[in-house]
Structure 1
C-alpha cells in the first residue's frame, strides 16, 4: 500500500514540474539570430500556408503567414516579401517538406 501511495505522490510531483509541450518554445539560430516559434498553425484551406508567431532575439513579433508554395511571407498589413536565403521561411518550408 505504501508503494502505491508513494508512486502516486511521485507521479503528481512530476506532472506539476514538467512544462507542457504546447507551452515550450522551439528556438533555432538562423543567420546569427535566435528565432523562437511561439505558435505555429497550418491553414486548413491552403495546406501550403502556415501562420507563425515568432520571437526574434527575444523580441516578440506579429503573426506572419508563410506561403511555402510561392515562397512568400505576408505580414499583418498584407505586405508580401520573398523569402531571403537562409531565412526562417526557407527553414520552415524545408522542415515541413514543401
Structure 2
C-alpha cells in the first residue's frame, strides 16, 4: 500500500512540474484590482507588450501596450491613450 502512495505522490509531483498553475500579477490601484494575466514583450520593439489583463475581475482581450507613446492598441486597431493609474501604467512601471 505504501508503495502505491509513493507512486501516486510522484505522479502528482510530476504533473505539477510539467503543468504549473497559471500565475498572474495583481495590484490594487485607486480601488481597482488590476491583474496581468499574460504578457509577452516584443523582440523588435522592446517598449511594446502584448498583454491580457483583468480589471476588477473583468478580462480584457490581448492588447498591445506601447510604453514609449503611452498608448494601447485594441483588437479592433483603435489606438487609445493610457488611463491614469490604469493597466497600461501598471504594465510599463512593473516591467
TM-score by length of 1: 0.72
Note if contact 1:31-1:87 (Cα within 8 Å) is conserved in structure 2.
no
* Cross-structure match for 1:66: 65
* Cross-structure match for 1:31: 30
Q: Distance in 2 between matches of 1:82 and 1:44?
A: 23
Q: Distance in 1 between matches of 2:47 and 2:35?
A: 21
Could you tell me how far 1:69 is from its partner in structure 2? 0.7
TM-score by length of 2: 0.74
Aligned CA RMSD, in angstroms, stands at 2.6
Note if contact 2:49-2:64 (Cα within 8 Å) is conserved in structure 1.
yes
After TM superposition, the runs of 4+ consecutive aligned structure 1 residues lying more than 2 A away are: 7-21
Structure 1: unaligned runs, 5 residues or longer? 1-6
Could you tell me how far 1:57 is from its partner in structure 2? 1.6
* Cross-structure match for 1:87: 86
Note if contact 1:30-1:88 (Cα within 8 Å) is conserved in structure 2.
no
Mean CA deviation greater in 38-47 or 25-34 = 25-34
* Cross-structure match for 1:43: 42
Note if contact 1:41-1:51 (Cα within 8 Å) is conserved in structure 2.
yes
Give the number of aligned pairs: 93
Could you tell me how far 1:20 is from its partner in structure 2? 2.5
